[in-house]
Structure 1
Amino acid sequence: MTLTSKTAIVTGSTSGIGLCVARALAREGANVVLNGFGEAAAIEAARAGIESAFGVKAHYAAADMTRPGEIADMVRDAEERFGTVDVLVNNAGIQFVSAIEDFPGETWERVLAINLSSAFYAMQAAIPGMKARGWGRIISTASAHSLVASPYKSAYVAAKHGIVGLTKTAALELATHGITVNCISPGYVWTSLVEAQIPDTMKARGLTKQQVIDDVLLKAQPTKAFVTVDQVAALALFLCSDAASQITGTNISMDGGWTAQ
């Protein structure tokens, strides 16, 4: 497979899953637009590293995923800079844990804006160009929580369920335009953000590191193994291929059997 001469926008791609997906797309020849938060030096290192490793162009867009105008501007700028936006990966996301009765309203709005509405606005901006060219790939990172719920994660669960509905609707609207729309639903993925949560959980619950991993993080995953960022990236790359041209409107689980229970 080659994505040479194509351009991909990956939101939430300054670290973790998003950065790995961006690198995978670049490896196949796509120019990439990174987006997300982080230290400027680290973001620049990631951007420059992609260009150096894969011989493509990489650009960083600082668009705030809570601001529809900035999302539209990001897509427009990418089209002007590279000529097309062919692949859109909606990966930006945040989490907040609270009982519903205590959940701050402004935090509910922020979680839904970043995890769900940003995908809508990015799709809205990118779809016209994809339709004009008769080809496009839209992939959203959902979650096992797009299929099942956990307590105290109302906004996140609602947003991820919403991503699935948005994906199905867009897939039907775009089915005859050469554009596929799918989402990937990982279970717990081993990232630096997950790893950083372990010491606090050890202290709060009086557990060892291995107990936190086995009895808290991986409790719901029958394989008792984390999904890796490389596995998510490989699936995203497959969904961009010609072999996946008839896969659209799907929610693909990658959760070690979590949602099979």
Structure 2
Amino acid sequence: MKNALITGSTKGMGRAIAIAFANEGLNVAICSRNEKELLDFKNELLGINAGIKVFAQVADGSNKVQLIDFAAAAQQQLGFIDVVVNNLGTFIPTSILDDADDTFTRQLNTNLMPTYELYRFFGKTMMGARTGHFFNICSVAALNPVVQAGSYSVTKYALLGLTKVMRLEMQEHGVKVTAVIPGSTLTDSWKDAVVDKNTMVLPEDIASAIINIYHMSAGANVDEIIIKPAPGQL
């Protein structure tokens, strides 16, 4: 049985992705800062598929020490991690000149650092096994910067750049790397806005795309996939 590790896994896209992998029969490793949410979601996943293992650990993914502790414990409990979904992210809608003193650092530690560290943690093991898949959840802000979210756009540009480097480093070793680039997606980032879900990408759409890419033949890699709302960006 294969194993998937998902960050930012109890809400939004991460939640939908974890459910999709559970439905596919993969064991899943999930983390959250909120213990109750984490344990409730673990039980939900086991209810979806009682035949899988769910490893859940309280951890703040933006904290390097806690992140690596989670990764190491997941590997110890489940074995070889076949899929890593770097989904953890935060969106702070301010222009760079209006950023608080910690805005850029917070977004770097959430939107970029976890992917870099989990790549360093799992990359050589995957390389040695000549198998594995990294899915990095980027953003259309990495293609077209959003002036109202300047430092967010910068960190997502950096994440897309990191993804391209990862792909080049891994491609000769049989390890796949995919940049998933969503547009306006109905997650908690929109919780205070009045929106029509029929004009947005849903988290389940992202999960479905990832599962379809995961099932492709060993010789096929989707470098990047862009998923935008049919009526255009909000």
TM-score above 0.5, yes or no: yes
Equivalent positions of 1:180-259 (< 5 A) are 180-191=176-187, 193-194=188-189, 196-198=191-193, 209=194, 213=195, 225-243=199-217, 245-248=219-222, 250-256=223-229, 258=232
8 Å Cα contact 2:55/2:78 also seen in 1: no
Q: Distance in 2 between matches of 1:172 and 1:139?
A: 14
3-state secondary structure, aligned to 1:108: helix
Alpha carbons of structure 1 residues 16 and 244: separation in structure 2 relative to 1, 3 Å = farther
3-state secondary structure, aligned to 1:13: coil
**Aligned CA-pair RMSD:** 1.9
Per the TM alignment, residue 16 of structure 1 is displaced from its structure 2 partner at its CA by 1.0
Match of 2:99 in 1: 103
Q: Which runs of 4+ in 1 moved over 6 A?
A: none
How many residue pairs get matched?
Answer: 231
Matched, 1:58 2:54: yes
8 Å Cα contact 1:137/1:239 also seen in 2: no
- TM-score, structure 2 normalization: 0.91
8 Å Cα contact 2:33/2:59 also seen in 1: no
3-state secondary structure, aligned to 2:36: helix
Match of 2:75 in 1: 79
Match of 2:110 in 1: 114
Matched, 1:88 2:62: no
Q: Distance in 1 between matches of 2:184 and 2:69?
A: 32
8 Å Cα contact 1:90/1:139 also seen in 2: yes
- TM-score, structure 1 normalization: 0.82
Per the TM alignment, residue 41 of structure 1 is displaced from its structure 2 partner at its CA by 2.6
Instruction: Kindly provide the amino acid, as one letter, of the partner of residue 124 in structure 2.
Output: P
Greater C-alpha Rg: 1
Per the TM alignment, residue 37 of structure 1 is displaced from its structure 2 partner at its CA by 3.5
Alpha carbons of structure 1 residues 194 and 104: separation in structure 2 relative to 1, 3 Å = closer
Matched, 1:169 2:162: no
Question: What are the ranges of 5 or more consecutive residues in structure 2 without an aligned counterpart?
Answer: none
3-state secondary structure, aligned to 2:179: strand
Matched, 1:128 2:124: yes
Identity of aligned residues (%): 25
8 Å Cα contact 1:116/1:163 also seen in 2: yes
